Amino acid sequence: MNLFRRIICRLLFCSLVVHSQCDPCLAEDENQSQLGQRFQEQILPLLQEHCLTCHDQDQPEADLDLSQFGKLADVHRAQLTWEIILERVAASEMPPRDAQPLSAQQREEFVDWIRDARAHEAQRNAGDPGDVLARRLSNAEFDNCIRDLTGVDLRPTRTFPVDPANAAGFDNTGESLTMSPALLKKYLDAARTVAEHMVLTPRGIEFSPHPVMTDTDRDKYCVKRIVEFYQQQPTNLADYFVAAWSFQNRDSPELTLDKIARAHDVSPKYLRTIVSTLELQYDLGPLAQLRSLWQELKAIPLGHATTDQVSILCQQMSDYVYAVRKEFETYFGNLEIEGVHAGSQPLVLWKNKQYAAHRLTADFARLETPFIDATQDKSQKPHIPANSISMQMWKSLADDTQRERFKAECRVFCSVFPDAFFISERGRDYLNKPRDEQEKGRLLSAGFHSMMGYFRDDQPLVDLILDEPGRSELDALWQELDFFTAAPLRQYQGFLWFERTDSRFMRDAQFDFARPEDKAALTEPLIQKLSQVYLEKATANGGSTVALAAIADYFKEINQHIRWVENSRQTAEPLQLEALLAFAERAHRRPMSAQAKEELRQFYRSRRDDDGLDHPAALQDLLVALLMSPQFCYRTDLLRDTAELRALDDYELASRLSFFIWSSLPDAELMACAAAGELRKPAVLKHQTLRMLADSRVRGLATEFAANWLDFRRFEEHNSVDRQRFTTFDDDLRAAMFEEPIRFFMDVAQRNTSVLDLIYGKHTFVNQVLASHYGIDGLHWSDAEWQRVSNADQFGRGGLLPMAVFLTKNAPGLRTSPVKRGYWVVKRLLGERIPPPPPNVPELPNDETQLELPLREALARHREHESCAGCHDRIDAYGLVFEGYGPIGERRTVDLAGRSVDTTATFPDGKQCNSLAELIDFIRRDREADFLSNFNRKLLSYALNRGLQLSDDSLLEAMKVGSLDGQPLFHELVEKIVTSPQFLNKRGRDTASDNRPLETAP
Amino acid sequence: MKSNPVASQPTRVSRRLLLQGAGVAMALPWLESIPVWGTELGSSQDVHLPKRFAVQFMACGVNQDHWWATGSGPDMKLGTSLQPLAPLKSKLNVISGLFNRSAVGVGIHPGQTGNILSGATLQRGAELRGGISVDQLLANRFGEETAQPSLVLGCEQPITGYHETNFSMAYSSHISWQNATSPVPMEVYPSLAFDSLFDNRGNRRNQSILDRIQEHAESLSRQVSGADKAKLDEYLTSVREVEKRIEHVREEQSAASERANGRGQALPTMQRPDNGLPEDIREHMRLMCDIVALAFQTDKTRVATLLLCRDISGLFYPFLDVRNAHHSASHNDLSDDFERITSYYVSQFAYLASRLEAMPEGDSTVLDNSCLLFINNMWSGSKHDSTKVPLLMCGGLGGTVATGRVLNYENKPDDQRKLCSFYLSLLQRMGQSDQSFGDADAPLHEI
């Protein structure tokens, strides 16, 4: 009878008072009393006669004191102990030979009774959610939550101590996840670290991959994003020509230009422009030449053999455009005013603007007056050589009419092909050096002398290529740059400093009021005042109209920019606060009441008003408080807050699911389902579960469940390989070894294959490093860092067993260890309980070359001792099969001492295995059920955040039933777990915990 | 000697109260500093006196003709520019000939400056890359023990942008670096630097946060099961424990102030500086020096750097009768103008040293337990020469460094005159076990 029914029974009886004969609780009680009677009459005498001699209170053998079991209830409280008793007695290992033997009938009675008692207990509480402690997040969960909240993988727990694992091997239970003042201090530091990554934007908040506490860091963050945006844009002309060709030769009317553009990763808008431009019937300018190349290109039919030809031709077209476009580039000299430094802001900005405004225009000046003596020309204007493309075209023109037509065609050409789509770095152009000789790496720089300042020049990209969302995104990025770095304010302060020192222009007394140190200098009246005084002097120095206008514009614009920063920062404050409240809701995994939100606002306000913090600091403290709050760093969804057992509410279920499958908090979709009250509907629950398993965040399940189950979670810190001897073993190979089973497991989870693939799979996943370690050749390495190898068995790999990570981890350095490897298979995969070795076992040398006997013979000798044989018979054979793999999992035929390796293994029942394939066959025949049962138990224990109990038996039974050809599909196991009563409910705070978890029994 | 009993209700000065009405004179007790780390005012042997480290930076060289010292102890002779230090001769070391290899041959100015306290190679272009500076290494080591890990102050705004050598101008503005890629934000406003000495910046802020989360946890644990309650209690206890530690630091600070009060000493006071930047650079520098002195005396921090001017400085000195700005003046570095500038900067160093010297601490003074450095990025501003740098040291770091000496490394081979070796020596004398720092893996000889 399950727990609900019991509760219902109790409620009924309380209210009805009258007991009825058909009461199921009574039937249960009868059962119970029968078991109790059998215990007293049959079992107790057996214990006393056959067991207590050794297992009594005084120095009990194996720490097992059987005298403590005087009644049935005592047995129920020690389920694990009785499971072991059952195993050993059933296997006739107990009582030992030198004790009073049990008759066959006695043994049967004994075993039957334990089985009955266990079955009864399992049935009685089936589906019990069990004792699941609310607990802090594990380090991995903390990191994953921060990653999913901020969008940046900051891993703030890097400096935390490693979380201890529970008896099942997982670090996700309350018993092992404790809190201490020292750890809390680390939480505080971690929260501060996260806060130092918070970026304030005009619309809200975001997070940077590096701290953004200094101007230079903020510059780096904002500039990098803009430059990356530029680099991601499709500006490669050759790609457009290829797409145009595809479009021209499309074999299906379904293939629209938009679809083709998407397939080629180019802008549909610009592709349209290019396609129509290529078809223009021009005959004089560069477009004519381009068109003839286009005709040639068009003639190439679709088909594989022609792709190289196409790309060569498209590259030719692109090269042609770049080369000839350069010859029409507009040229601007410096503005000059007596006394004003050529690298000063107003003059440099004027020139930048001229270039930015003429990226789509054609300049014919150099064609029309080509005969200036270059040595006499002080403007350093670039000259076009006589044999250049445009010059040759120009010379071939017959008359002015043709020249005008040529110019018109060139203008079209230049308006379609800009001289640049964007400028992402700029040196000091005012020095008049050719562009390619100017300073490199000054990203988005305006190009002033020494002063900081950015300049945006990307109109062709915006006009020709970007769509509306792209434009908004780019605008927002540039706004964020000004907003977050206060670039205009700093630029103007630089101006004040420079003009007073290096440039000397503002050294006269009338400029003394404008000091960079003075914050008031940034105010509108003082900027206007300086503008006036500056212009007066510039006028007196004979500045031209253009130059004076440039100066006036400079002051006007810098003032506007500064005002914009100030105003928008003011306007953004409440938006940023609200964004942080929304963040809080996600972090706490529950909707927040209006009152709770108001409390947070209050906290923020109090930091500003009472502590005198500025807005960013107050926001940071609020963020720290949110991340320190138990609602974030504790699994509060697990709190038992009602008197009786109850169903999880939608939000609790969302958390439970996401921490199970992702080791992280619920995402927006899951929260939306919870908010709609849909999540508990079976169809929705199933859909969400499958969606989550397919998501890449299922990596959390791979690293926290699979890696802990298989004991390689900390392999990235594994340091017992002798790198002098194994020179191929480096950090990259170690990382790849760790990654292989992670990828393998994720594949099972994401593609929903049978969990038996873990053992029987003939495939695996490798990157280049691992492929070369495995000697897997014939793979093509392009972009994909990792790839699936379907025929890994041909290289001695495939499935978990021969993965280098396990072979390496279970080898002590300079030799292999059949014992450790065998133990790993038997314990981790097959779930056998093997007691620890006695303390007096002699150590084998850690180096194969130091062994007097081959390892297998040394082990065989070891097994001759009866006390050793008990365990080693169960272990060694499994490990010896792997002797064909060396200490770092490399395949080998001789060991380090030069002896041929022998992979023959004989199992206790006499069966022989001679290879990995035979071991796998042996498992398939004899141990498959053990593997599956172990897998299910581990997965369930992980999912429930607790050790298993007898009351989980019926769920485990249900999980055993494979649906498709008996194949246990991974999704079905997960589904059975997430729809089970133990997953969907939690105990009440008063539920008696008489149902102890198995794994923590004595 | 017995101390006064710790007041049970220490009168703590609310910072908010102090800030109300900016510009109004506000008094802060000029504490005698011992009680901060010892509850008993025993003899100096009983009390573990903290060691402090401060750097003053001047840029663009000195007037070399007047920067010299000979002899030792009271007989030390000082060049004109070093005259302000005459009263402190016995506590002074004049060190010449040290240099930073990675600041030589990389082009002038920023590349000679951003690594002056780290010895790191600097990267050109948009991305900053250097190394952690020695002051921040120290701040990381014992910053936990004080209200603030370090004070990073400047009297001239930092700038960015690109120098013609293609180094970022950020290297010219920052000598304190928290790691390879980020400078420490520098405080140029004396009022804000002063405020930061009240512990609201670090501990008080944390306390507000802990208060809040404690309330939260308490409200959560009200109606949950006993086992869950125990789990939350574990958390609450940790929160309270951390809070208690913070409170403890704050109480010790208050107790110190009480004790100083109780002894009826004439208490020096410092006014909270006005908001905004001082008009006069003299006032600016003096305030910053006072703040460092105050911080050291009250053990609010043990590490400070003060950028008196940045490299390529635009500071003006009308009061010295110099019309050129600092950087331009340095191009005529043998002039009388630049000698006056140099002397003026040295007088700031002398001022800070004498403030600390006037603060008794056990049997000695705060200066005796400190190491004050005065360093410049160039020997000659006109030649932009950084093959050796001007360096002064004041204070004996708790008797671990002999003072009153003139140390000349000019004729030593390059690997025996590394600035980083000097820093490494200081680190070791401050109780750190480092065996290398920057480009040095051995301490400096004869220190």
- A223, A621, A629 ranked by CB distance to B216: nearest: A629
Asked if A989 lies within 8 A of B228 by C-beta distance, the reply is yes
The verdict on B143 touching A (C-beta cutoff 8 Å) is no
> Mean pLDDT across chain B, nearest whole number?
84
B7 touches A: beta carbon within 8 Å: no
Nearest to B209 among A213, A216, A625 (CB): A625
Nearest to A621 among B163, B185, B208 (CB): B208
Q: Which residues of B touch A613 (CB under 8 A)?
A: 200, 205
Residue in A428, A493, A640 nearest the CB of B228: A640
Residue with the larger pLDDT of the pair A661 and B201: A661
Residue A371's pLDDT is what?
55
pLDDT for B198 equals 62
The reply to whether B156 touches chain A by the CB within 8 Å rule is yes
Confidence of residue A377 (pLDDT cuts 50, 70, 90): low
Residue A20 has what pLDDT? 40
| Residue pLDDT, tens place only, B309-326 | 999 998 989 899 998 889
Residue of B nearest to A503 (CA): B328
Phi, psi of B389 (to 5 degrees): -125, 145
Residue B138: which H helix or E strand, with range?
A: helix B134-142
Residue A806 has pLDDT above 80, yes or no: yes
Note whether B224 contacts A443, CB cutoff 8 Å. Answer: no
- Confidence (pLDDT) at A196: 95
pLDDT per residue over B310-367, tens digit each? 999 989 898 999 988 899 999 999 999 999 999 999 999 999 999 999 988 888 899 9
Which pLDDT value is given to residue B360?
Answer: 86
pLDDT band (50, 70, 90) for residue A21: very low
Q: Return the minimum-mean-pLDDT range out of A73-87, B100-114, B291-305.
A: A73-87
Banded pLDDT at A783 (limits 50, 70, 90): low
Residues of chain A found within 8 Å of residue B326, distances taken between Cβ atoms:
501
Q: What is the DSSP letter of B123?
A: P
Rounded to a whole number of angstroms, the distance from the CA of A671 to the nearest CA of chain B is 22
CB B357 within 8 A of CB B31: no
pLDDT at residue number A851 = 76
Q: Do A516 and B327 count as a contact with CB atoms less than 8 A apart?
A: no
Do residue B238 and residue A439 have CB atoms under 8 angstroms apart? no
What confidence tens digit (pLDDT) does each residue in A208-219 have? 999 999 999 999
Chain B residues with CB-CB distance to A639 below 8 A: 220, 224-225, 228
Please answer whether residues B373 and B54 qualify as being in contact, where contact means their C-beta atoms are separated by less than 8 angstroms.
Answer: yes
Sequence-distant (≥ 6) Cβ neighbours of residue A783 within 8 angstroms: none
So what's the pLDDT on residue B355? 93
Mean pLDDT of B103-127: 94
For residue B51, pLDDT over 60 is answered with yes
Q: What is the model's pLDDT at position A304?
A: 64
Q: Do A184 and B128 touch (CB under 8 A)?
A: no
CB B74 within 8 A of CB B135: no
Q: How confident is the model at residue A486 (pLDDT cuts 50, 70, 90)?
A: very high
Higher-pLDDT residue of A780, A979: A979
Instruction: Write out pLDDT tens, residues A124-138.
Output: 888 899 989 889 999
Q: What is the mean pLDDT of residues A908-928?
A: 87
Of B422, B365, B426, B371, the closest CA to residue B395 belongs to B371
CA distance linking residue A882 with residue A445, whole number of Å: 61
Query: Judged by CB atoms within 8 Å, which residues 78-117 of B form the interface with A?
Result: none
Which residue in the set A497, A613, A631 is minimally distant from B159, CB to CB?
Answer: A497
Nearest-CA distance B72 → chain A (Å): 40
Q: Does the beta carbon of B222 lie under 8 angstroms from any beta carbon of chain A?
A: no
Backbone angles phi, psi at A761, to 5 degrees: -55, 135
Tell me the β-bridge partners of B375. B57, B391
* Distance, CA of A495 to CA of B334 (rounded, Å): 29
Instruction: Please tell me the predicted confidence (pLDDT) of residue A963.
Output: 53
- CA A845 vs. chain centroid, Å, equals 42
Both structure tokens of A564: 């914009």
Scanning B307-326 for CB atoms below 8 A from A yields 312-314, 316, 323, 325-326
pLDDT tens per residue across span A535-574? 999 999 999 999 999 999 999 999 999 999 999 999 999 9
The residue-averaged pLDDT of A15-27 equals 45
Longest dimension (CA), chain A: 125
Q: Which pTM does this prediction carry? A: 0.86
pLDDT of residue A999: 40
Q: Which pLDDT score is estimated for A511?
A: 92
Radius of gyration of chain A (CA): 38
Of A333-347, B59-73, B197-211, the least confident: B197-211
| Averaged pLDDT score across all residues of chain A | 88
Confidence of residue A283 (pLDDT cuts 50, 70, 90): confident
pLDDT of residue A379: 55
Question: Which range has the worst mean pLDDT, A435-439, A580-584, B86-90?
Answer: A435-439
- pLDDT confidence of A380, banded at 50, 70, 90? low
Smallest CA–CA distance from B14 into chain A, residue: A611
Confidence of residue B288 (pLDDT cuts 50, 70, 90): very high
Nearest Cα to A859, choosing from A919, A815, A795?
A: A815
The rounded distance, in Å, linking the Cα atoms of A301 and A615 is 63
- Which residue of chain A is at minimal alpha-carbon distance from B154? A517
Which pLDDT value is given to residue A998?
43
pLDDT in tens, A105-124: 888 888 888 888 888 888 88
- What is the chain B residue with the closest CA to A452? B161
- Closest alpha carbon within chain A to B128: A216
A452: which chain B residues are within 8 Å (Cβ-Cβ)?
Answer: 159-162, 169
**Does the pLDDT value for residue A31 go beyond 50?**
yes
For residue A966, the tally of other CB atoms under 10 A from its CB is 11
Q: Tell me the percentage of chain A whose pLDDT exceeds 70.
A: 93
Is the pLDDT reported for residue A64 higher than 70? yes
List the beta strands (DSSP E) in A77-222: 198-200, 205-207
Residue percentage of chain B with pLDDT more than 90: 58
Best interface-test mutation with A: which of B140, B160, B248 has the largest number of A CBs within 10 A?
A: B160
- Residue B300 is predicted with a pLDDT of 82
Question: To which residue do tokens 């246990």 refer?
Answer: A968
Give the C-alpha separation, A290 to A280, whole Å: 10
The model's confidence at residue B9, banded by pLDDT at 50, 70 and 90, is: very low
The answer to whether the Cβ–Cβ distance between A501 and B328 falls below 8 Å is: yes
B369 has pLDDT over 80: yes
Does residue A787 have a pLDDT over 90? Answer: yes
Between A502, A507, A625, which is nearest B212 by CB? A625
A291 compared with B360, residue with greater pLDDT:
A291
**Residue of B125, B160, B312 with shortest CB distance to A441:** B125
Element (H, E) at B390: none
pLDDT of residue A8: 40
Give dist(CA A122, CA A3) in Å, integer: 11
Contacts of A498 in chain B (CB under 8 A): 314
Please indicate whether, in this complex, the C-beta atoms of B168 and A519 are within 8 angstroms of each other: no
> Has residue A958 got a pLDDT over 60?
yes
Closest by Cβ to A640, choosing from B16, B184, B225 = B225
pLDDT digits (tens, 9 = 90+) for A161-188: 999 888 888 988 888 899 999 999 999 9
Q: Which residue of A has its CA nearest to B241?
A: A181
- A636: chain B residues, CB-CB within 8 Å: 220
The pLDDT of residue B38: 35
Minimal C-alpha gap between B200 and chain A (Å)? 7
Q: What average pLDDT score do residues A499-528 get?
A: 89
List, for residues A221-278, the tens digit of each pLDDT value: 999 999 999 999 999 999 999 999 999 988 888 899 999 999 999 999 999 999 999 9
Nearest to A362 by CA among A318, A404, A322, A418: A418
CB pairs under 8 A between A and B: 200
Q: How far is A494 from chain B (nearest CA, A)?
A: 7
Name the residue in chain B with its Cα closest to that of A986.
B225
- Residue A234 token pair: 């499709």
Q: pLDDT-derived band of residue A914, with 50, 70 and 90 as boundaries? A: confident
Q: What is the pLDDT of residues B256-271, one digit of tens each?
A: 556 555 544 434 456 7
